[in-house]
Amino acid sequence: MTTNFSRLPPLPPLRDFIHMYRLRAKKVLSQNYLMDMNLTRKIVRGAGVQPGDWVCEVGPGPGGITRAILESGCDRLDVVEIDQRFIPPLEHLAEAADDRLHIHHADVLKTNIGDLWGKEGAKRSVQWSDEPPAMHIIGNLPFNIASPLIIKLLKDMSYRRDAWRFGRVPLTLTFQMEVAKRICSPIDDDARARISIMAQYLTEPKILFRIPAFSIPTEFAHYLIGSCFVPRPEVDVGVVRFVPRIQPLISAPFEIVEKLCRQVFHYRQKYMIKGLKTLYPKEIADEMAHQLLKDCRVNPKAPSVQLGIEEFADLAAAYEKQCRDMPGLFPYDYIKPNRTVAMLAKTAGALPPMNPFKVEKMPEEGIRLAEADKFLC
């Protein structure tokens, strides 16, 4: 059944909106809701939503992007909202959406989107290498959870679980523009950071457009960004789309890559060797860090921003081998030196997890046909 879009309740006037949802009190949560339907429609177009698609929107708030998604003609829209204040207006929208809008009052950081879709009979893609399925995750998130959420989603993507058990589901999310630039930052760029490697080795991220943070001279200037957001954010906003890669650029498990990048970029303005040493107990740090760099032919005096994903792939593979050869090294935390490698070797997480989708490098001398499966995605 096709929704009569004229039946969708309009966005409330700004004065009523501020009063109804007490946004002044909630600004500490970094919540900024889009109130410009031209922009919400632009986000939905950029996400590639087509009639008949399935969509999960995270953090819908009062429903600005929600309306634009429903206008696209999607078959099903699940929204995950933790703030009880916005459940009534979303329910009001659902009444006009011909049973296409489904509301989940939950924390997106604890929600399995794949389960939401799976319970409704969503079909798995035959192969990961297929074209992305007719499914999307979209969100205008509070800035304080955007970074932890994208790390969680990337981890789920790396294991092809949650939403990604259905295939290469794309993501379209908003971030502070500074974070958006980090995500898409190229090699040797000042913005390059841990999230640059984490996002780019698993996906092809792209900044779709910028929403500038300019104010206008009205009695509501504190809340407005060109009448787009409520409350007005203090920084520009970037809309980023992530398309999962068929083959990740790093074959080590996600946890290895994350730990390596976290330690290396902790000292992003220093030599590589300084960050790498924090992966090891002090008494063996110098020897093992230098050996890691030697094995990967990486200059110890190179800053982290100058390393490409290929170098990080080599470092991750070599560090994973060290962790498997020395149980207890992987969970070692230099901030808690009293928990020694010997002690950690006796724990359940002494070794890093395996990457179930690791693709082996093809040997130069070639392979037998019977061995081909392990070299294919």
Indicate the annotated binding residues for S-adenosyl-L-methionine.
Answer: 32, 34, 59, 81, 107, 140
Indicate the annotated binding residues.
Answer: 32, 34, 59, 81, 107, 140
Q: CA 241 → CA 27, 44, 45, 152, 180, distances in Å?
A: 26, 11, 11, 16, 10
Cα angle for residues 56, 60, 63 (degrees, 5° grid): 115
Cα angle for residues 186, 190, 194 (degrees, 5° grid): 65
Q: Are 58 and 139 in contact (CB under 8 A)?
A: yes
CA proximity to 181, closest of 219, 223, 125, 238: 238
Long-range contacts of 211-220 (CB under 8 A, 24+ apart): 211/39, 211/174, 211/236, 211/237, 211/238, 211/239, 212/236, 213/237, 220/14, 220/15, 220/18
In the numeric block, which tokens belong to residue 348? 């359940």
Give helix 309-325 / helix 282-296 axis angle, nearest 10°.
130
Q: Coil, helix or strand for 85?
A: helix
CA dist., res. 233 & res. 31, Å (int)? 9
Q: Coil, helix or strand for 294?
A: helix
In the numeric block, which tokens belong to residue 191? 């913005």
Strands 54-58 and 135-139: parallel
